[in-house]
Structure 1
Amino acid sequence: MQVGIWRVSRDDTSPLRFLLLEVLKKLMLAIRFFTTKRVVNEAAALTYSTLLAIVPILAVVFAIARGFGYNKYIEMWFRDAFQSQPQAADIIIGFVNSYLVHTKSGVFLGIGLVFMLYTVLMLINNVEMTFNEIWQVKKQRSIFRTFTDYLAMLLLFPILIVVTSGLSIFMATVVDHLPDVTLLDPVKRFLIDLLPYGLMSAMFIGLYVFMPNTHVKVRNVIVPGILAGVAMQWLQLFYINSQIWVSSYNAIYGSFAALPLFMLWVQISWIICLFGAELCYTNQNLEYYDYNTNTADISHRYRILLCAMIMSCICKRFDKGGKPYNAFELREETNIPIRIVNDLLYKLIEAHLVIGISSDEKGEQTRYMPAMNIEKLSLGVMIDSLEAQGKWKIDLAIGKHYGKLWGKAMEMRRKYLHESRAILLKDL
């Protein structure tokens, strides 16, 4: 079944069944990538970064809220968001208030300010790196775009929280002042209950679109964003409704129980977030995948063949003066799955056989062209460059093992590479 469903075309079955198969394939791919790439470990690393950055981030949020006169409301919003972790909420708010008091007195204007910026930027950078790994993006943001994007996020995120919390309070007030009509009561309750799901889903959708350093189509993140938002709200309800378990945990660990419970809640939250990112990736790239293709499973000989196919296309296009290929165009030209195309292009760049050209604009497709004169870029040069990657040195006394046959074997290899240099990649 795992192989068969990937060969079912739209014409082979009914539209409804084909849609269900598409959903199943996306889910299977997301689970496979989630487990093979050890995303749970990434969630644990992000949990550590979150613990370091949460107080500085909330200090900025509370400071901006006080500037707008929303300090009481933002605290209510925060306690409501952490209603499953009331002890952790009390501790964090205490830290934030102390942080703001000391900042006003000038204690943290030096090293403390640097540490605050470092922890926040480290968290954002770790999140970006994790999302880029999920999206198979090798290129990070430039220094300029990192500075501008991160600064915009630091400024907009607190304002967005303040505005959304104010909107929640406004809608709740409007609903409370509506006339008491029996038929409208279920509608009012439904709107109040639906609002947290909508805000949480919108937050995930924005995160999935903005964070990866590649073009993410909004239509492909709506459903994963909603699912992640709903899962987060269910996580909150689970923690709230499991007070018996929490009480027994408190009996064992006492006041220290707030920290491990909060860390567990943060890690599960990141797991939900990252699995939603995997769903976004598979949702956008399903048509380019074959379930049984994995670069690590490809033999060395076949990898050389695939690299030769890609290099041949790039060199031919360059020789004709055409526009360089991007990864998706190479996939269409060679029928090699896009995940393998991206991995092989990265290897070719590391071997200095290909260079990637792109502007600094997010979502701009990187295009690839030869890194040397195509009249010298032969099959032998490609094989030698790829096989020379890595360190060729190991502290072993291997010289004593050499004999006449070793010399003959090395001479045969040199002859093989020499003959291969007569075949130019543009002529393949």
Structure 2
Amino acid sequence: MQVDIWRIPDEELSPVRRVCYEIIKVASLAIRFFTTKRVVNQASALTYSTLLAIVPILAVVFAIARGFGYNKYIEVWFLDSFSSQPQVAEVIVGFVNSYLVHTKSGIFLGVGLIFMLYTVMMLVNNIELTFNEIWQVKKKRSIFRTITDYLSMFFLFPILIVVSSGLSLFLATMANSMDDFLLLGSTLKFFIDATPYFLMCLLFIALYVLMPNTHVKVKNAIVPGILSGIAMQMVQFVYIHSQMWVTGYNAIYGSFAALPLFMLWVQISWTICLFGAELTYTSQNLDFYDYDAHTDDISHRYQLMISALLMSRICRRFADGKAAPSADDLRKETGIPIRIVNDLLFKLAEAKMVIEVSSDEKGATSVFVPAESLDNLSVGVMIDRLEAQGSWKLDLPLSNLMNAEWGRAVVMRMGYLKQAKDVKLEDLVERS
């Protein structure tokens, strides 16, 4: 039955059954990737990074807010957001205020600011690397885009907090003044109660779309973002209403119990976040999983053959004066799964066989063109460059280990590559 679900054409299914099958496929793939890729371990690593960076991050946020006169809004928002962790929230606010008091002398604008920004960027970089691994993206942001993207997100964060806090206060004031209007008052109270859910869902959707260094469609991030936001609010609700369950735990550890409970809460939060990222990835790439294979599972000989197929299409399009193909164009032409296409194109680009051209660094319009003249691009050149990839070599006295048969083998290999260089990659495809 599992094979049937994956192999039945959509044309043979009713709209309702097609949607049900897609939900089952997305959920099953997300759960499988979540377990096989050890995402829980990645959530643990992000938990550790969050604990290291939370005080410096909030210190910068509070400092920016105080510069605009919004420090009270920030503190109220933070305490409300950590209502399930009141002891931890008070301790962190105390640390932040103490940190800022000791940096008023001007150090905050020097070494302190550099250290805090470095801590923030390292945390966000770890988040991006985790998301890129989920999305199987190997290309990192450039240094310029890293600095601009990270800092823009970081400095917009307190502004969004102030706006959302102000909106909540405005709605609360309006609701209190409309008690006489039964319908309007209850409607506003509903919106006030739903505001945390809406903001949390919006935060997750933005994170799933913006954080990976690839093009993520907003429509594929909406449902995972909503599910993650609701799950986070449910975790908050369960934690707040389950304090009686941890009474014995508090009796043993005392005030120190707040730290492991806070770490557990952060761990669960990152686990929810990363599972939502897996859902987003599988939702967008569901059509590409007819074959569940990866380049690590393919023999070296077969990788060379598939690379030749991809290179032949790229070179033939270039020779015919047609538009350069994208990774998805090559997938459609050859039937090769998109993950294998992306992996091999990355290796071909590293081997200086192709050049990735994109007007958008996140890859929305990436196309691939030959890296040099077509006369130089042959099967032999491709094999030689792909097999020569790598920067680490053993410094061994090979001359002492080789004999006449070694020399004969080397000559035979050189002859093989010379013959393969006579086969142009563009000639592997019939002219249109």
For residues 107 and 46 of structure 1, the distance between their equivalents in structure 2, rounded to whole angstroms, comes to: 28
Question: What secondary structure is seen at the aligned counterpart in 2 of 1:238?
Answer: helix
In 2, Cα distance between the equivalents of 1:198 and 1:28?
A: 27
Map of 2:142 onto structure 1: 142
1:151: which partner in 2? 151
**Aligned ranges 1:24-423 → 2 under 5 Å:** 24-67=24-67, 69-180=69-180, 187=187, 190-359=190-359, 361-390=361-390, 393-394=393-394, 406-423=406-423
Aligned to 1:16: 16
**For 1:51 and 1:91, how far apart are their aligned partners in 2?**
13
Contact 2:179 2:185 in 1 (8 A): no
Q: How much does 1:56 deviate?
A: 2.5
AA aligned opposite 1:102: H
Cα offsets for 1:313-343 (capped at 9, x unmatched): 1111122232222111111111111111111
CA displacement 1:121-156 (0-9 Å, x = unmatched): 111222222222322333322233223222221221
Q: Which moved more, 1:277-286 or 1:188-197?
A: 188-197
Separation in 1, partners of 2:68, 2:113:
23
Change (3 A) 1:137 1:365: farther
In the alignment of these two chains, the number of paired residues is 428
**Secondary structure of 2:376 counterpart:** coil
Percent sequence identity is: 65
Letter in 2 for 1:299: S
Separation of aligned partners in 2, 1:337 and 1:220: 20
Q: Is the 8 A contact 2:289 2:337 kept in 1?
A: yes
Give the match's secondary structure for 2:102: helix
> What is the deviation of 1:108?
3.1
340-349 vs 109-118, which moves further? 109-118
Deviation at 1:189, TM superposition (A): 5.2
Shift of residue 207, structure 1, vs aligned partner: 1.6
- The AA in structure 2 aligned to 1:10 is D
Task: Report the residue type matching 1:214 in the other structure.
Answer: T
Q: Deviations over 1:45-79 (max 9, x none)?
A: 22222222222322233344445554334323212
Counterpart Cα distance in 2 of 1:128 and 1:292: 25
Please tell me the residue identity of whatever aligns with 1:339. Answer: R
* Superposition CA RMSD, Å: 2.5
Q: Could you tell me how far 1:88 is from its partner in structure 2?
A: 0.9
Aligned CA distance change for structure 1 residues 17 and 370 (closer, same or farther; 3 Å)? same
Structure 1 portions without partners, runs of 5+: none
**How far apart, CA to CA, are the structure 1 residues paired with 2:54 and 2:310?**
46
Whichever residue aligns with residue 171 of structure 2, its letter is: M
SS in 1 for 2:368: strand
Residues 74 and 158, structure 2, Cα contact 8 Å, conserved in 1: no
Matched AA of 1:22:
E
Q: 1:392 to 1:68 in 2, by over 3 A?
A: closer
Single out whichever of 189-198 and 373-382 deviates more from structure 2: 189-198
Amino acid at match of 2:423: I
Shift of 1:284: 1.7
Deviates more, 1:36-45 or 1:263-272: 36-45
The answer to which of 27-36 and 185-194 deviates more is: 185-194
What is the Cα deviation at residue 244 of structure 1?
3.2
Give the stretch that moved more between structures: 356-365 or 331-340: 356-365
* Pair 1:41–1:86, CA change in 2 (3 A): same
Q: Deviations over 1:189-232 (max 9, x none)?
A: 54333221111101111222222223222211111110110111
**How far does the alpha carbon of each residue in 1:227-278 deviate from its partner, in whole angstroms, 9 at most, with x for none?**
1101111111222222134333323333322222212211221121121112
Return the alpha-carbon distance in structure 1 between the equivalents of residues 23 and 416 of structure 2.
49
- Structure 1 residue 411: Cα displacement: 4.1
- For 1:334, give the aligned amino acid: T
TM-score normalized by the length of structure 2? 0.90
TM-score for both structures, normalised by structure 1: 0.91
CA contact (8 A) 1:356 1:367 kept: yes
Amino acid at match of 2:7: R
The higher-RCO structure (CA 8 Å, 6+ apart) is 1
Assess if the C-alpha contact under 8 Å between 1:64 and 1:159 holds in 2. Answer: no
Which shifted more, 358-367 or 292-301?
358-367
